Structure 1
């Protein structure tokens, strides 16, 4: 979309002003993939036609969480996260357990949670969507997951996907320029070096119901899908839902070179059932919690919502039912 079209579309989205404007705090990540100063100002100006808006730019990791905690304490009617999935994750961590709802505007490369809520993936359409909701402000209560105490809105991963996230986050310019293709390139490289030809991490997944599974990667989903490859949804866990009260789990036990093409093809079908039928994928179903522990003493890489959190020998993954209120 050109800047001229964005100007015109957002300007046209300014609707008749309501009698009382709701207080909205807009948290903007100025470093998000598709966010620019000009687009930020256009979006904020449009929202000001229907909301009493205060806009704040994030300055460092964790800043959005602190801002959201303050906003909930100050009684804002709604907090809007304008950025990528990392910004949404930080905002959710600040608003979890409070009565202040979270709205989202897409500003990243994937915007998984935004699309999972049914919010348009285009920022102009998403802004117009928020303007239409100004009078009623419909709220949906959704579950969150927790990984060692850190909330996540759509997924957590231990193993390969966390290592991919670590590598991608180290090269933000390539991530912004090539998007899902850069993720795919990094995934293939790491998979080949570490998981096929190298020494992958070994872990044991222990579910709340007593089941156990050894693996080299564990995926936990709080919502569907797991992620997107451009516009194509990638689904791994069949039982994932935002209001189930549980997390859905899947494990990759091991894999050989000849099995990689078939697994990649199944991931791109958009069918979790197809993925779960792969001989190296174990669909562990839904559970309220699981503990993932290293079997060889090496710390395990961990990511939540596309943010790399580091390495630890033990990861506790737990569902937090009805923990977040969202405008959708």
Structure 2
């Protein structure tokens, strides 16, 4: 399977400017299966937003549906798309909005809500809804970068290899994911590493613009200060990255011997430590393009923003500086 990158021009930060003579029209995309979302919560949020906005709520019905709904909302003249769900819902909606000039307004409804934290959205749904209501009179959009792997945009992080396999395992057990949160991720990571990556893991090659071809077993790409969160603790794999740097930070794990993982884990959980200084890791900041491909004909699993996407033999990596508008 070959995945390609399509260039998207960054929207103008003023694309969503609107006079205060009418109420803005919000398309509210709700993931009813998100960890902390319920029918009652949906009704409360929609009712509250209706005091200041024209609200058009719609529920997602399956994978990638939020992308379609966001694209339809943009084409039909919505002033913004609000998501009520986790990072997966945000990612799908962003994939329908990149380059349209219609901003995204994410409300927290998932377990981790990484992107919400990164852009300063309150973590409590009541506080976040009140915050959005307060924006009705001071509506300002902000342009943020979006990375791309294959045919999927990502708002803060993507990975190929081990972390994608872990996400796949976690996503297959939504009840355990909801009940135990980061601890289930940790258990899944240990189990997946020991079962599939200690012996004969899938091999990959990362091709960089400077001509280097780096072999390894896992590659990660970061578009934001944090790669994810472990409960309230930030997991900052690669330093000095931001949502408006115009580049990605990346790293490849050369091998997955058992002695590697303790050091990787410590560096991931202590923000002052740099993963790129680990002896088994090759880091590359300031990345704008790359290619990752299989080195042994086995398909490579990949994830975007903490959601498992599937497998690929080859994928191009890219970035659209300022490609997504947000209001937060």
Distance 2:79 2:51 in 1: 16
Contact 1:248 1:287 in 2 (8 A): yes
TM-score by length of 2: 0.91
Residue correspondences, number:
309
Question: Could you tell me which residue of structure 1 aligns to residue 230 of structure 2?
Answer: 229
Q: CA RMSD in A?
A: 1.4
- Deviation of the 1:19 alpha carbon: 6.5
Contact 1:205 1:293 in 2 (8 A): yes
Question: Could you tell me which residue of structure 2 aligns to residue 140 of structure 1?
Answer: 142
Contact 2:293 2:315 in 1 (8 A): yes
Matching of residue 270 in structure 1 with residue 271 in structure 2: yes
Measured against aligned partners, the alpha-carbon deviations of 1:112-162 in whole angstroms (never above 9, x if no partner) come to: 111111111111111111111111211100111111121111111000011
Runs (5+) with no aligned partner, structure 1: 1-17
- Deviation of the 1:321 alpha carbon: 1.4
Contact 1:232 1:270 in 2 (8 A): no
Matches within 5 A, 1:175-254: 175-196=177-198, 198-254=199-255
- Deviation of the 1:243 alpha carbon: 1.1
- Deviation of the 1:257 alpha carbon: 2.3
Question: Could you tell me which residue of structure 2 aligns to residue 324 of structure 1?
Answer: 324
Question: Could you tell me which residue of structure 2 aligns to residue 157 of structure 1?
Answer: 159
- Deviation of the 1:21 alpha carbon: 1.8
Distance 1:54 1:255 in 2: 48
Distance 1:117 1:99 in 2: 18
Question: Could you tell me which residue of structure 1 aligns to residue 28 of structure 2?
Answer: 26
Question: Could you tell me which residue of structure 2 aligns to residue 6 of structure 1?
Answer: none
Question: Could you tell me which residue of structure 2 aligns to residue 98 of structure 1?
Answer: 100
Distance 1:264 1:222 in 2: 20
Higher relative contact order (CA 8 A, sep 6+): 2
The 10-residue stretch of structure 1 (242-251 or 259-268) with the greater mean CA deviation from structure 2: 259-268
Runs (5+) with no aligned partner, structure 2: 1-19
- Deviation of the 1:20 alpha carbon: 3.3
The 10-residue stretch of structure 1 (25-34 or 49-58) with the greater mean CA deviation from structure 2: 49-58
Contact 1:209 1:287 in 2 (8 A): no
Q: Which runs of 4+ in 1 moved over 4 A?
A: none
TM-score by length of 1: 0.91
